[in-house]
Amino acid sequence: MGRGPLRIAATAVLGLSGCVALAACGDGNAVQGNREVAGGEAARGKAILTANTHGCGGCHTIPGIPNAHGTVGPPLHGMALRGYVAGRLPNDPGNLVRWISGPQEIDPRSAMPDTGITTAEAAHVAAYLYTLRDIPK
Amino acid sequence: MRTRALGAVLVKGGLVGGLAGCGGTQSALDPRGPAAATIADFSWILFAGAAVIFIGTMALAAYGVLLPDRTKGVPPIRFILWGGLVFPGVTLLVLTVATAMVGNAVDFRTHPEEPLRVTVVGNMFWWEVVYPDLPGGPLVTANELRIPVGRPVEVTVTTRDVIHSFWVPALHGKMDLIPGRMNRITLIASEPAILRGQCAEFCGEQHAWMALFVVALDPAEFDGWIARQQAVPEPPDPADEQLVRGRTAFLEAGCGTCHVIRGLAEGPYAAVGQLGPDLTHVGSRLSIGAGVLPNGVGPLAAWIAGVQDIKSGARMPSYSTLDGETLTALARYLESLK
Ligand SMILES: [Cu+2]
């Protein structure tokens, strides 16, 4: 009976330290490099992806976008963490916008077509993709 | 007219706030033709009448509960006779006559003007649209019904598979598509508009993505559209290698076993198939896949390679076996078919 409070305290300490340890693990994958897209607004990018005007969601699974569960291309979660864009270009804002607005200029053999998206729209979309920081474990 | 104004007031007053979102391209409460307007007016009368009866009944009940002394002397038989027989009898009689009159008013079969005839054939999960007797010969298209403003359009509906229902709420009520039967409904649009219709009879897993766009055009614009649709598309410019490649790919991948592209009827891989929508002018449509995606090179490529991700259960396989260059070429070619 006398040991009750002690045990509770011990459990609390253990529990707390567990939380701290877990919290420290949460951000294991750090964003490397610049993720600020000039002229890009994430909210507008999200609206463009939701309207699916360029078919992005038909080919890609994109977190946060309803009806975007394509499997033709890679899923776009964690785009802020990726080392490379499409395995070809170092992942930085300029290259991501370049890829989205004109993948065929980078590699005409890619299955991702030039969709006709403008550079301004691509910047908004890139800004949204850079809000994606989770890779499912 | 006055009842519609009443409806508008109710909506604006927030009394039926839940209905406020019902404006727009697919709403029976936002009519764009005389039939839908009559139906909407009548609906508001019914709504108002039902509200009055409901409130009256509740008031009587409250009266009886709260002031039992005042009602004690009334013999129950009088309530049953007047409230239970005479009143509903008269109301139902009036409504029966009114319904028949509304039914007559929205039936344009006797309209003096010669209607434009269109046949709409339901398929799981898309609509074939045929203009059978145009001066320049019949025209087949899909998922889009373009009509001239003001002229009656007699739509004959039928189906190749299961029962569907044709419903363009802003123009008229529903009409079922029944195997082996030709049902008719005559539409009139009173103003240029892009409206959305929807299959209204559950027909399978992609029933919800079986939409149909109705585009009401000024008569001159409509004639121009018909002329463009009847034309056989020019073969791609030989200098544009990608388009030429796209056309060849369409035939070699076997798309022609299910799809028609007029002008591609010769050779070992003729595009004459009847299992999918006519693609002769697919690039001119507002959407692809019966409303599931907007049109464009990106959505077309996505559809071809991943239709089963986008509209799982659609009667077309995903072609992710095409190499990237071919896929892009094919999408660009289809998009060029304006
Ligand atoms: Cu259906």
> What is the structure's pLDDT at A31?
75
Residue B196 clears pLDDT 80, i.e. is over it: yes
Query: Is A120 domain-assigned?
Result: yes
Residue B15 clears pLDDT 50, i.e. is over it: no
Measure CB to CB from residue B325 to each of A57, A71, A108 and give the nearest one: A108
**Predicted confidence (pLDDT) per residue in B133-192, tens digit:** 999 899 999 999 999 999 999 999 999 999 999 999 999 999 999 999 999 999 999 999
User: Picking from A1-5, A8-12, A22-26, A80-84, which range would have the lowest pLDDT averaged per residue?
Assistant: A22-26
Residue B283 clears pLDDT 70, i.e. is over it: yes
Q: Measuring CA to CA, which residue among A56, A101, A63 is closest to residue A79?
A: A63
> What is the structure's pLDDT at B328?
96
Residues of A in contact with B329 (CB under 8 A): none
Q: Are B230 and B136 in contact (CB under 8 A)?
A: yes
**One domain for residues A78 and A98:** yes
Q: Are B333 and B247 in contact (CB under 8 A)?
A: yes
- Asked if A134 is an interface residue toward chain B (Cβ–Cβ < 8 A), one would say no
Query: Is A23 domain-assigned?
Result: yes
**One domain for residues A125 and A59:** yes
Peptide bond preceding B125: is omega within 30 degrees of 0, i.e. cis? yes
Mean pLDDT for chain A overall: 85
B55 to each of A126, B50, B118, how far by Cα in Å?
56, 9, 46
Contact at CB, A113 and B299, closer than 8 angstroms: no
**One domain for residues A46 and A90:** yes
Domain extent for A98: 35-129
> What is the structure's pLDDT at B60?
87
**One domain for residues A54 and A104:** yes
- For residue B24, what pLDDT band results from cuts at 50, 70 and 90? confident
Please report, for the domain that includes residue A117, its CATH number: 1.10.760.10
User: Picking from A105-119, B103-117, B213-227, B290-304, which range would have the lowest pLDDT averaged per residue?
Assistant: B103-117
Q: ipTM score of the complex? A: 0.79
Total tally of structural domains belonging to chain A? 2
Residue A25 clears pLDDT 80, i.e. is over it: no
User: What is the 3 state secondary structure string of chain A?
Assistant: CCCHHHHHHHHHHHHHHHHHHHHHHHCCCCCCCCCCCCCCCHHHHHHHHHHCCCCHHHHCECCCCCCCECCCCCCCCCCCCCCEECCCEECCHHHHHHHHHCHHHHCCCCCCCCCCCCHHHHHHHHHHHCCCCCCCC
Bridge partner list, B177: B164
**One domain for residues A73 and A100:** yes
Triad A59, B209, B202: Cα angle to 5°:
145
Position A115, amino acid: T
Cβ-based neighbour number of residue B116 at 10 Å: 19
Measure CB to CB from residue A53 to each of B296, B325, B332 and give the nearest one: B296
Q: Are B233 and B262 in contact (CB under 8 A)?
A: yes
Query: What's the mean pLDDT in B265-279?
Result: 89
User: Picking from A109-123, B65-79, B241-255, which range would have the lowest pLDDT averaged per residue?
Assistant: B65-79
B103 vs B76 pLDDT, higher one: B103
Residues of B in contact with A88 (CB under 8 A): none
- Domain B116-226: which CATH class? mainly beta
Rg (CA), chain A: 21
The gap between the terminal CA atoms of chain B, to the nearest Å, is 41
- For residue B338, what pLDDT band results from cuts at 50, 70 and 90? very high
**One domain for residues A7 and A64:** no
Query: Is A4 domain-assigned?
Result: yes
Query: Is A60 domain-assigned?
Result: yes
Measure CB to CB from residue B306 to each of A59, A112, A116 and give the nearest one: A59
DSSP annotation of B21 reads G
**One domain for residues A1 and A49:** no
Query: What's the mean pLDDT in B26-48?
Result: 94
**Predicted confidence (pLDDT) per residue in B76-100, tens digit:** 888 889 888 999 999 999 999 999 9
DSSP annotation of B82 reads I
- Distance, in angstroms, between B311 CA and closest chain A CA? 10
Mean pLDDT for chain B overall: 90
d(CA B68, CA B234): 85
- For residue B207, what pLDDT band results from cuts at 50, 70 and 90? very high
User: Picking from A8-22, B108-122, B123-137, B270-284, which range would have the lowest pLDDT averaged per residue?
Assistant: A8-22
Cβ-based neighbour number of residue B57 at 10 Å: 11
Whole-structure pTM over 0.90, yes or no? Answer: no
B123 to each of A73, B30, B157, B317, how far by Cα in Å?
30, 28, 11, 16
B63 to each of B66, B71, B77, B88, how far by Cα in Å?
5, 8, 18, 21
Tokens of B59: 């008031």
Instruction: Supply the CATH classification number for the domain B241-335.
Output: 2.60.40.420
Cβ-based neighbour number of residue A136 at 10 Å: 7
**One domain for residues A70 and A115:** yes
**One domain for residues A47 and A105:** yes
Residue B13 clears pLDDT 80, i.e. is over it: no
Residues of A in contact with B325 (CB under 8 A): 108-109
**One domain for residues A60 and A10:** no
Contact at CB, A72 and B305, closer than 8 angstroms: yes
Query: Is A137 domain-assigned?
Result: no
Rg (CA), chain B: 26
> What is the structure's pLDDT at B73?
77
Instruction: Please give the distance, rounded to the nearest whole angstrom, from the Cα atom of residue B209 to the centre of ligand 1.
Output: 8
Residue B21 clears pLDDT 50, i.e. is over it: no
Q: 3-class DSSP state for residue B235?
A: coil
**One domain for residues A25 and A41:** no
Residues of A in contact with B310 (CB under 8 A): 58, 70
Query: What's the mean pLDDT in B221-244?
Result: 95
